[in-house]
Amino acid sequence: MAARALPEVNIDDKVFTLKYYVDEQKSHLSLRDPGLCLKCAQKPCLSFCPVGVYRLDAQGQVVVGYQACVECGSCRVACPLHNIKWDYPRGGYGVAYKFG
Amino acid sequence: MVRLNYDVIVVGGGPAGMAAAITCARAGLDTILLERGRFAGAKNLFGGVVYTASVLSLVPDLFSASRLPFERPVTEEGWWILSQDGVVKITHTNATLRESPPRAFTAFRAKFDAWLAKQAQKAGVLVVPKVRVIDLLIKDNFVCGVQTDRTASWDDHRPAQVKAPVVILAEGVNRILSIKAGLVPRDFSPKEVALSVKEVLQLPKGELESRFGLQKDTGLAVELLGEASLGLPGTGFLYTNTSCLSLGVGLFLIDYATHNIKPYALLEHLKRHPVLAPLLAEAETLEYGAHLIPEWGFFGLAKLCGNGVLAVGDAVGLVNPLFREGTNLAIYSGILAGKAAIYAHKKGNFGYHTLRLYEEALKDSYIYQDLRYFRKLKTFLQQNKSFFQTYPYLLNEVLHLYLTAQGRAKQEVFKEICQLIRKQRGVTGLLGDFVRAMKFLKGW
Ligand SMILES: Cc1cc2nc3c(=O)[nH]c(=O)nc-3n(C[C@H](O)[C@H](O)[C@H](O)COP(=O)(O)OP(=O)(O)OC[C@H]3O[C@@H](n4cnc5c(N)ncnc54)[C@H](O)[C@@H]3O)c2cc1C
Ligand code: SF4
Ligand code: SF4
């Protein structure tokens, strides 16, 4: 692939167009071992997640903003260290597309 | 949930699950469909184009409805092959494509699936949304029911179990229950699925028609190649709806990870393409979303059934990305699985050897033949990079030279074209690609 600088996008603006019923009691996503992320050189989850659920905090630790998840399943299989504990949200919770 | 025993349980309220449930209920089977979304369609996203014939095979009186569950008829189709700043458009339309009823429509899943759910209810299916199936009940090697994430009742807080001698898994691409049922040995890898992102874009009133040359009863559906996927294996799409556009793009999941590509940055790059930007001027994003597409194909195909269990649609991997088939294959497989469930109930036997009727029917159908025929598609696309990385750009350059040749000696122009081809792909490369493409198309 020829190198291209892709535009900077504020993903929060896109997420804003979505409707969610957030399960405030329970996150359906979590890191099995947050320490393991420090050893993950490339951190692909910061790229491939289509809604930017995985971000770095000020200390460089990966944090999981599960509320924005659209349940695509990508991080279930694409974390190279299998460090993401993945589940669907409880029935009725999570994203609800108006169009889809 | 009131009652906990049924003839058939269907897990998942997409087109595959709805087709299976409707087929069973129409034959008099007591059928329950469990869907984790707030309503059927809430969790689903596609391009998307639905094919009328497949919907008619499930709902024969489709056109007697006062409101169709679709957006626009698709009367013009094809490809826009993008370079970094240009395009070669190959689209087709003719009188047949403009005949009524249209052979294909654009649609939204939140509306289409919800409409299918209404048809299912009419057929007698108990459609239960907001319920997630978390596990299968397996007894003596037979799947005999499901465990849900709802409590059994107000005073019994254990998760409710629903039982039936046949469970039809229509869970979509994330085939978690299919693995539990032993139909697939392992999860898919990031090389075996495509991740697509999409925006629904609202244009100022009247602009959709004027910018895309549409009338009330015409519509455009094009696949976007080349720069849309940055020259990587993948495609974009642009489909016209009644008053808005669906624009999206997808790559193999592995490629986002390997090249550090953010899906939304890829889509934004597409939106800013010099050819697309003016078409999208002043567009407002009504909704953004993302979904996986199963691309494991023939070699990654799940077993279609086991004792007391059948799998249909995306859960099995029934899509043909080259021909944009998915919802129709989901519907056809759902109907076939439903028929096998009916047969099993007649025989009173729910073992693999009875349910195999579905496997046999699917293997006799064009769905399976196509899967076989295109079994090397993924490898072909991943190994023959020039089809994405070189040819779209080359085609644009060659056509540009040809079309701007006025005022020059044409022999010189043709020489320049030949040099360009030689430089970018080489004669051996070109011939090799041709042979490989022919071999692939011949199904070798
Ligand atoms: C970007 C994109 C573009 C596409 N474009 C087209 C197109 O133009 N034309 C076309 O024909 N096809 C297209 N497809 C493919 C098509 O959308 C799918 O093949 C089709 O939707 C498969 O239907 P399904 O019923 O098997 O699965 P799905 O539609 O995924 O339905 C699965 C359902 O099961 C539910 N579910 C999952 N797990 C559970 C559980 N544990 N408990 C309860 N419910 C559960 C889900 O919520 C969902 O409703 C496209 C796909 C994508 C992603
Ligand atoms: S890819 Fe997996 S291991 Fe790496 S940073 Fe992300 S969550 Fe952690
Ligand atoms: S499931 Fe998809 S949307 Fe949700 S966190 Fe994982 S990659 Fe992101």
For residue range B357-373, list pLDDT tens digits in order.
999 999 999 999 999 99
* Residue B16 forms part of a structural domain: yes
Rounded to 10 degrees, what is the CA torsion of B17, B23, B25, B29? -100
Q: How far, in Å, CA of B284 to CA of B208, rounded?
A: 13
Q: Is residue B162 within 8 Å of B152, Cβ to Cβ? A: no
Q: Which ligand is nearest to the CA of A87?
A: 3
Amino acid at B304: L
Give the pLDDT band of residue B378 (cuts 50, 70, 90): confident
Q: Which residue of B has its CA nearest to A4?
A: B230
Minimum distance, in Å, between the CA of residue B224 and any CA atom of chain A = 17
Using the 3D structure, point to which of B373, B403, B418 is the last residue of a domain.
B373
Give the pLDDT band of residue B159 (cuts 50, 70, 90): confident
* Ligand 3 atom at shortest distance from the alpha carbon of A54: 5
> Which among A2, A47, A94 has the least Cβ separation from residue B262?
A47
* Residue B92 forms part of a structural domain: no
C-alpha distance from residue B264 to each of A7, A21, B148, B200, B269 (Å): 9, 22, 34, 13, 8
Give the pLDDT score at A2.
Answer: 58
Q: Are residues B150 and B15 in the same domain?
A: yes
The string of pLDDT tens digits covering residues B290-341 is 999 999 999 888 899 999 999 999 999 999 999 999 999 999 999 999 999 9
pLDDT at B350 over 60: yes
Give the pLDDT score at B133.
Answer: 98
Q: Are residues B288 and B304 in the same domain?
A: no
Share of chain B above pLDDT 70, in %: 99
pLDDT at B57 over 90: yes
Give the pLDDT score at B1.
Answer: 52
Contacts of B187 in chain A (CB under 8 A): 76-77
Contacts of B254 in chain A (CB under 8 A): 78
Residue B260 CB neighbours (<10 A): 15
Q: Is residue B128 within 8 Å of B118, Cβ to Cβ? A: no
Q: Give the residues across from B312 on adjacent strands.
A: none
Picking from A30-34, B375-379, B439-443, which range would have the lowest pLDDT averaged per residue? B439-443
C-alpha distance from residue B335 to each of B16, B181, B388 (Å): 8, 21, 36
Give the pLDDT band of residue B75 (cuts 50, 70, 90): very high
Q: Are residues B162 and B219 in the same domain?
A: no
* Whether the CB of A45 sits within 6 Å of ligand 3: no
**Structural domain span for residue B50:** 8-70+106-187+297-373
Q: Are residues B150 and B269 in the same domain?
A: no
Average pLDDT for chain B: 95
* Residue B157 forms part of a structural domain: yes
CATH, residue B287: 3.30.9.90
* Residue B237 forms part of a structural domain: yes
Whether chain A has a CB inside 8 Å of the CB on B72: the answer is: no
Give the pLDDT band of residue B444 (cuts 50, 70, 90): low
How far does the centroid of ligand 1 lie from the alpha carbon of residue A80, in Å?
26
Q: Is residue B35 within 8 Å of B12, Cβ to Cβ? A: yes
Q: Are residues B211 and B119 in the same domain?
A: no
Name every residue whose Cβ is closer than 8 Å to that of residue B15 and which is 6 or more positions away in sequence: B112, B113, B116, B313, B327, B330, B331, B334
Using the 3D structure, point to which of B346, B373, B400 is the last residue of a domain.
B373
Q: Is residue B142 within 8 Å of B307, Cβ to Cβ? A: yes
Residue range A92-99: mean pLDDT, rounded: 98
Q: Are residues B282 and B173 in the same domain?
A: no
How far does the centroid of ligand 1 lie from the alpha carbon of residue B367, in Å?
17
Region of residue B36 (left: phi > 0; alpha: psi -120 to 50; beta: else)? alpha
pLDDT at B176 over 90: yes
* Phi and psi angles of residue B201, each rounded to the nearest 5 degrees, phi first: -115, 125
Mutate to test the pocket of ligand 1, among B54, B132, B150, B171 (most ligand atoms within 8 A of CB): B171
How far does the centroid of ligand 3 lie from the alpha carbon of residue B335, in Å?
31
* Residue B90 forms part of a structural domain: no
CB contact under 8 A, A72 and B195: yes
Q: How far, in Å, CA of B419 to CA of B397, rounded?
A: 12
- Sketch out chain A's domains with CATH numbers: 26-96 (3.30.70.20)
Q: Are residues B16 and B134 in the same domain?
A: yes
Q: In this structure, what token pair is assigned to residue B422? A: 């030689």
Minimum distance, in Å, between the CA of residue B368 and any CA atom of chain A = 26
Give the pLDDT band of residue B427 (cuts 50, 70, 90): confident
Q: Are residues B333 and B415 in the same domain?
A: no
Question: Minimal CA–CA distance to B189: which of B266, B300, B311?
Answer: B300
Number of domains in chain B: 3
Q: Are residues B28 and B169 in the same domain?
A: yes
Mutation for B interface: A22, A40, A77, most B CBs within 10 A: A77
Minimum distance, in Å, between the CA of residue A74 and any CA atom of chain B = 7
Share of chain B above pLDDT 90, in %: 89
Q: Are residues B13 and B162 in the same domain?
A: yes
CB contact under 8 A, A9 and B189: no
> Which among A42, A73, A78 has the least Cβ separation from residue B174?
A73
Q: Is residue B169 within 8 Å of B187, Cβ to Cβ? A: no
Q: Are residues B267 and B317 in the same domain?
A: no
* Residue B379 forms part of a structural domain: no
How far does the centroid of ligand 2 lie from the alpha carbon of residue B395, in Å?
40
Q: How far, in Å, CA of B418 to CA of B426, rounded?
A: 9
Residue range B50-70: mean pLDDT, rounded: 95
Mutation for A interface: B35, B43, B246, most A CBs within 10 A: B43
* Whether the CB of A37 sits within 6 Å of ligand 3: no
Residue range B181-207: mean pLDDT, rounded: 96
Provide long-range contacts, Cβ within 8 A and 24+ apart, for B424-432. Answer: B424/B390, B424/B393, B424/B394, B425/B386, B425/B390, B425/B391, B425/B394, B429/B386
* Residue B100 forms part of a structural domain: no
Average pLDDT for chain A: 96
Minimum distance, in Å, between the CA of residue A14 and any CA atom of chain B = 6
Give the pLDDT band of residue B384 (cuts 50, 70, 90): confident
Provide long-range contacts, Cβ within 8 A and 24+ apart, for A25-30. Answer: A26/A90, A27/A64, A27/A66, A28/A66, A28/A69, A28/A86, A28/A87, A28/A88, A28/A89, A28/A90, A28/A94, A29/A53, A29/A64, A29/A66, A29/A69, A29/A75, A29/A84, A29/A85, A29/A86, A29/A87, A30/A64, A30/A66, A30/A84, A30/A85
Q: Are residues B114 and B141 in the same domain?
A: yes
Minimum distance, in Å, between the CA of residue A7 and any CA atom of chain B = 6
Q: In this structure, what token pair is assigned to residue B404? A: 């701007």
CATH, residue B63: 3.50.50.60
Residue A19 CB neighbours (<10 A): 12
Residue owning the nearest CA to atom 3 of ligand 2:
A37
Q: Give the residues across from B11 on adjacent strands.
A: B34, B169
Residue owning the nearest CA to atom 33 of ligand 1:
B12
Using the 3D structure, point to which of B254, B274, B294 is the last residue of a domain.
B294
Q: How far, in Å, CA of B183 to CA of B202, rounded?
A: 42
Whether chain A has a CB inside 8 Å of the CB on B108: the answer is: yes
* Residue B87 forms part of a structural domain: no
- For the sheet with B76-82, list strands across it: B87-92, B76-82, B220-226, B234-240, B244-252, B193-202, B284-294
* Ligand 2 atom at shortest distance from the alpha carbon of A78: 1
pLDDT at B215 over 90: yes
Give the pLDDT score at A1.
Answer: 59
